[in-house]
């Protein structure tokens, strides 16, 4: 189904995609990495001095201090090269962490290799990368760690143990190597997945806030339109009465007759425009006389924005028993949530979308069905989670997530399913149900 930019309303996916930050950029400040390195330098220097002068072990102190000094120089250079509050690009941050891995490998080479208990510090840079950088950067740093650990397992200077010394068994060194490798792979994968899920949820919640803020702006605009219509109604009525009196008083052949007729026609036109503005503004102020409406009217208002000339959109409202139709608040959550569900159905439908509104004494329901391909069975159980989409490139899968989140704030329960005809999938169905007591407002407040 083709849409043009002039007639199509942007979906929340498309609107948020334009505002969504570029996740290829590192989400870590230079200040953070500089601080971590100063802590590492302090720890390395303390351990080196305690072993050399406290335990009186003859270490290659000059080479070790040179390796630590390289970290100090890089920290100072990075601090002066750019503002410490700035953010590094992804690969700058990866290079920064790669240097830390190599510097640690040099220190371990000088102080016993993998037999040095501090060899587990290899996991630090990988953990930082998994939390803040992409999987590609984390994978490269993990390969570097595994390569350095493998080299240190075979090539390193021995620690000068006291007495007769200590020769660690080959199996023990192999176990240390296995621990470093498995720890690197596990932390890189596990922490990366958890951090990625957290970023996706943060983006999704931001999308909800943007959608709700936009709906609230529309609501405020509707309230302003209603107020303008109310305030301008009286002076406009006076103008219309005056124009009619002038029409009766001025002879038809007067040079002012045409002007008076134009004045009266334009006054009638203004009255029609104000009547349209004041008919059904989307406001949610409980003190406003237009804040409430019948459920079917709210659904119709939500659907009006998403009508498409190529899709038949049918709205049917009927009570199951003799109870009156619920009177509900025109809240932004309700309008935008229903609008997203209907928009999703229209975008996937081939020719037809039906919206059935029903109610009884206990509940109110809105059921949206389309004749499109339906929800993919593989993701049907996960519909409603952020970034679950079958639309392809350019769609973030946020529309249904936003709709569900907003509608649940109104007390709704939402069920997603596929309708079936002749044992085949024949379109999607979204059923939205409210306890009537949670949805309905007192008619005396409307």
Beta-bridge partners for 417: 429
Domains of the chain: which residue ranges? 15-200, 211-277, 292-445
- Alpha-carbon distance 106 to 332, whole Å? 60
Give the residue among 66, 96, 65, 64 at the shortest CA–CA distance from 79: 96
- Alpha-carbon distance 297 to 366, whole Å? 12
Task: Please give the DSSP secondary-structure letter assigned to residue 387.
Answer: T
Task: Say what the pLDDT of residue 193 is.
Answer: 75
Task: Say what the pLDDT of residue 58 is.
Answer: 78
Give the residue among 437, 446, 434 at the shortest CA–CA distance from 334: 434
Exposed e or buried b for every residue in 131-167, given b needs 16+ CB within 10 A?
Answer: bbbbeebbbbbbebbbebbeebbeebeebeeeeeeee
37: CB partners within 8 A, 6+ apart: 71, 74, 75, 100
Task: Please give the DSSP secondary-structure letter assigned to residue 111.
Answer: T
| Element spanning 353, H or E | strand 352-359
- Alpha-carbon distance 67 to 71, whole Å? 7
Rg (CA), the chain: 34
Exposed e or buried b for every residue in 305-317, given b needs 16+ CB within 10 A?
Answer: ebebeebebebeb
Helix (H, G, I), strand (E, B) or coil at 328: strand
Residue count (the chain): 446
Q: Is the separation of the CB atoms in 26 and 92 below 8 Å?
A: yes
Q: Is the separation of the CB atoms in 319 and 359 below 8 Å?
A: yes
Where helices occur in 133-169 by DSSP H, the ranges are 135-154
Q: Is the separation of the CB atoms in 376 and 392 below 8 Å?
A: no
- Alpha-carbon distance 440 to 423, whole Å? 38
Pairing state between β 424-435 and 363-370: antiparallel
Helix (H, G, I), strand (E, B) or coil at 294: strand
Side-chain half-sphere exposure of 330, counting CA atoms within 13 A: 28
Phi, psi for 313 (deg, rounded to 5): -115, 110
Measure CA 213 to chain center. 14
pTM of model > 0.85: no
Helix (H, G, I), strand (E, B) or coil at 123: helix
Residue found under tokens 């270490």: 59
Helices (H) and strands (E) in the chain, counts: 13, 7
410: CB partners within 8 A, 6+ apart: 331, 333, 334, 337, 434, 438, 439
Residue found under tokens 């199951």: 320
Task: Say what the pLDDT of residue 390 is.
Answer: 53
Classify domain 292-445 at the CATH topology level.
Answer: Heat Shock Protein 90 (3.30.565)
Residue 209 has a CB neighbour count (10 Å cut-off) of 11
| Element spanning 333, H or E | helix 332-348
pLDDT per residue rounded down to tens, the chain (446 residues): 333 333 344 455 555 444 454 444 445 677 778 888 888 888 888 888 888 887 777 778 888 889 888 888 988 887 777 665 566 777 888 888 899 899 989 988 888 888 888 888 888 888 888 888 888 888 899 899 999 989 988 888 877 665 555 677 777 888 888 888 888 888 888 887 777 666 666 666 666 666 666 655 555 555 555 556 656 666 777 787 787 878 778 887 787 788 878 887 887 777 776 666 555 444 444 445 457 888 988 899 888 878 888 888 999 998 888 888 888 888 877 888 888 889 888 888 888 999 999 999 899 999 999 988 888 877 777 776 665 555 444 444 567 777 787 788 888 899 988 876 544 456 889 999 999 888 887 644 44
Q: Is the separation of the CB atoms in 337 and 366 below 8 Å?
A: no
Give the residue among 183, 189, 176 at the shortest CA–CA distance from 129: 189
Q: Is the separation of the CB atoms in 187 and 123 below 8 Å?
A: yes
Q: Is the separation of the CB atoms in 25 and 87 below 8 Å?
A: yes
Residue 331 has a CB neighbour count (10 Å cut-off) of 23
């Amino acid at each position: 189904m083709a849409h043009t930019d002039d007639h199509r309303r942007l979906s929340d996916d498309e609107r948020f995609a334009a505002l969504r930050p570029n996740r290829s950029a590192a989400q870590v400040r230079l200040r953070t990495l500089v601080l971590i390195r100063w802590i590492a330098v302090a720890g390395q220097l303390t351990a080196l001095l305690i072993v050399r002068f406290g335990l009186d072990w003859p270490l290659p102190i000059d080479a070790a201090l040179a390796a630590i000094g390289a970290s100090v120089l890089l920290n100072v250079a990075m601090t002066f090269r750019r503002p410490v509050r700035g953010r590094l690009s992804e690969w700058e941050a990866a290079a920064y962490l790669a240097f830390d891995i190599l510097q640690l490998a040099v220190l371990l080479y000088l102080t016993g290799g993998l037999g040095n208990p501090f060899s587990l510090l290899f996991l630090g840079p990988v953990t930082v990368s998994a939390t803040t950088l992409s999987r590609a950067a984390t994978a490269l740093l993990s390969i570097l760690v595994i390569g350095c650990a493998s080299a240190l397992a075979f090539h390193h200077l021995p620690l000068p143990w006291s007495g007769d010394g200590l020769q660690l068994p080959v199996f023990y060194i192999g176990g240390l190597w296995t621990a470093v490798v498995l720890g690197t792979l596990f932390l890189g994968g596990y922490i990366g997945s958890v951090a990625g899920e957290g970023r996706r949820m943060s983006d999704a919640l931001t999308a909800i806030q943007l959608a709700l803020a936009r709906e609230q702006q529309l609501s405020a605009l509707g309230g302003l339109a209603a107020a303008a219509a109310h305030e301008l109604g009286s002076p406009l009525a006076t103008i219309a009465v005056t124009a009619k009196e002038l029409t009766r008083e001025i002879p038809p052949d007067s040079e002012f007759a045409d002007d008076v007729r134009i004045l009266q026609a334009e006054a009638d036109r203004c009255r029609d425009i104000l009547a349209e503005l004041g008919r059904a503004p989307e406001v949610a102020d409980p003190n406003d006389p237009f804040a409430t409406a019948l459920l079917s009217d709210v659904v119709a208002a939500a659907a009006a924005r998403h009508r498409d000339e190529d899709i038949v959109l049918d709205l049917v409202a009927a009570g199951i028993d003799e109870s009156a139709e619920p009177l509900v608040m025109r809240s932004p959550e309700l309008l935008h949530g229903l609008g997203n569900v209907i928009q999703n159905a229209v975008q996937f439908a081939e020719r037809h979308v039906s919206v059935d509104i029903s109610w009884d004494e206990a509940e109110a329901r809105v059921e949206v069905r389309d004749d499109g391909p339906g929800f993919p069975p593989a993701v049907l159980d996960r519909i409603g989670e952020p970034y679950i989409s079958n639309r392809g490139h350019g769609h973030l899968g946020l529309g249904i997530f936003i709709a569900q989140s907003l509608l649940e704030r109104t007390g709704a329960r939402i069920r997603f399913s596929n309708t079936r005809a002749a044992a085949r999938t024949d379109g999607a169905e979204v059923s939205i149900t409210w306890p009537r007591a949670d949805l309905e407002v007192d008619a005396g407040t409307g």
